[in-house]
């Protein structure tokens, strides 16, 4: 079964492949957009929820490639910030606006804003969670299923974070529960896929794919 992933982020492609491998799903080939010749023309993510944005991507890329398409949208929800950055996590530093800057620069700006806004917030109120929603669409754009995963943690204190050489996005400032001993960027790939929001959603999606296949 060949499925195109609705992303051009190589880190996410690698993580998704590993997550489905951990789920024990054999015979599944996951390919990134670049591997099927899709360059540019990204759909505008205008949804008010993670589910809406994942659906937009899955449906549009499925129709464009005429292949099964799996899209995900993930966000960081921080208790003390009323659930922000949430649906605009990828562009939090610019209030959800796409400015065309590189991924690493954007990630650094996003994490810097989070740490600035969390300045002075006590440890017991620094709770947060990563959430991932996955949407699968058939080659004709029909939605075949949706899954959701989450992981609890907390935002570290500036000076203690960011830390870790792995992961991407907010991983270096997110201390993974229940121990809060390491950031998401300090976990091995195996550990991350076993416990991450994306890993949980992927295992649920693997069950759905078994039924479809």
> Exposure string (b/e) for 160-181, b if CB count within 10 Å is 16 or more?
ebbebebbbbbbbbbbbeeeee
pLDDT tens by residue, 37-69: 898 878 888 899 999 999 999 999 999 999 999
pLDDT over threshold 70, residue 176: yes
pLDDT tens by residue, 113-147: 999 999 999 999 999 999 999 999 999 999 999 99
Domain containing residue 186: CATH number: 3.90.950.10
* Residue given tokens 């208790």 in the structure block: 79
Active site members: 73
On whether the CB atoms of residues 149 and 200 are closer than 8 A, the answer is yes
- Residues composing the chain: 213
Helix axes 10-22, 197-212, angle to 10 degrees: 60
5: which DSSP letter? E
Give the pairing of strands 29-31 and 2-5: parallel
pLDDT over threshold 90, residue 173: yes
Mean pLDDT score of the chain: 92
Domain count, the chain: 1
State pTM to two decimals: 0.88
The range of the structural domain enclosing residue 103 comes to 2-212
pLDDT tens by residue, 62-75: 999 999 999 999 99
| Cα 128 from Cα 146, distance rounded (Å) | 23
């Amino acid at each position: 079964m060949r499925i195109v992933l609705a992303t051009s982020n190589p880190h996410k492609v690698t993580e998704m492949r590993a997550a489905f491998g951990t789920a024990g799903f054999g015979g599944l080939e996951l390919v990134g957009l670049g591997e099927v010749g899709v360059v540019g023309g990204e759909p505008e993510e205008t949804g008010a929820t993670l589910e809406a944005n994942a659906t937009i991507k899955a449906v549009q890329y499925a129709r464009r490639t005429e292949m099964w398409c799996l899209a995900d949208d993930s966000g960081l929800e921080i208790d003390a910030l009323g659930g922000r950055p949430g649906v605009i996590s990828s562009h939090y530093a610019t209030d959800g606006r796409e400015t065309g800057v590189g991924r690493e620069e954007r990630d650094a700006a996003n994490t810097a804003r989070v740490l600035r806004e969390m300045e002075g917030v006590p440890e017991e109120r620094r709770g947060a969670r990563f959430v991932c929603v996955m949407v699968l669409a058939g080659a004709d754009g029909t939605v075949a299923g949706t899954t959701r995963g989450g992981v609890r943690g907390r935002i570290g204190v500036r000076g203690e974070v960011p830390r870790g050489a792995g992961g991407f996005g907010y991983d270096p400032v997110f201390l993974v529960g229940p121990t809060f001993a390491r950031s998401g960027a300090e976990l091995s790939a195996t550990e991350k896929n076993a416990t991450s929001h994306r890993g949980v959603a992927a295992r649920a999606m693997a069950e759905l794919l078994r039924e479809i296949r």
